[in-house]
Amino acid sequence: MGRDRDRSRRGLFLRSRFEAVHPEITKFQAEIAEKGLTEINGYRLDDGTRAVLRSWPLYKPVIAAVNGFCTAGGMEMLGGCDLRVACPEAKFAVMEPKRGLFAGGGTTVRLPRQIPWPQAMEFLLCADLIPAERALEMGLLNAIVPREQLLDAAREYARRIIVNAPLAVQATKQSALQGLYFDEDLTQQLRAAIRELRRAVADGADPDAAAEILERLGRELRSPFEKESKISGVIFRTEDAKEGPQAFAEKRPPVWKAR
């Protein structure tokens, strides 16, 4: 049953990304908007955006190896990857506007934050296929390698990452993502506080209880630099933070324990 459900979810995602050919999702849009639906036939409508790592707190590094056309869902998935290598034959595009559609998996938000604005607008507004060499120039890729070396190149990036302390790597990505998408994190915290206030009011809470909720929100809200400092404090208290300098002083490879 779980496997069948996963296949159904993947199918729903693929249909949503190719609506020009399979209009099942577009025909439900009016009903979705009017009724505020979050599911259809038991399947969540945000499965597709979760699949492309939008608003998903994944702090493990993700490396993309692109060996063909990277469009539609593939391009949206690329926005959730940290390092990206491609073969010379690869091509990239946000082609939804050419079909009267919209890249709603995060690309219109992520791309302008990941590469320079004019380059991002060329991708988003012209909706043309971009060759790998041009994508590299625009800052979308880390490297271009021959097709037969593609996976080896991706694995080499992975090897370079995993020699580092795992908790430090994850914390570094966490800080970078939370700084880049600070508005998303802030919005989620504010919505959670609003829900809590509504429940408190419905339960007849006194003003002091509501004030405590707001005061707690004020303590929890942090700027990107404040979040960086908090994450930094956690990492500097780990055993790995002691092992790294000690190994350097003793001129030996560190032995990471991820704690």
Q: Averaged in consecutive runs of 10 residues, what is the pLDDT profile of the chain (259 residues)? A: 47 42 54 64 68 80 95 91 96 91 87 94 94 96 97 97 95 90 81 80 72 75 76 87 89 91
What pLDDT was estimated at residue 208? Answer: 73
Parallel, antiparallel, or unpaired: how do β-strands 39-40 and 43-44 relate?
Answer: antiparallel
Report yes or no: 82 and 200 within 8 Å, Cβ to Cβ: no
Going across the sheet that includes 83-86, the strands are: 63-66, 83-86, 143-144
**pTM of the predicted protein model:** 0.75
What pLDDT was estimated at residue 76? Answer: 92
Of the candidates 165, 178, 184, 186, the one whose C-alpha atom is nearest the C-alpha of residue 225 is 178
What pLDDT was estimated at residue 18? Answer: 40
3-state SS assignment for residue 84: strand
Catalytic positions: 76, 96
What pLDDT was estimated at residue 259? Answer: 92
Q: Which tokens sit at 99?
A: 């079909």
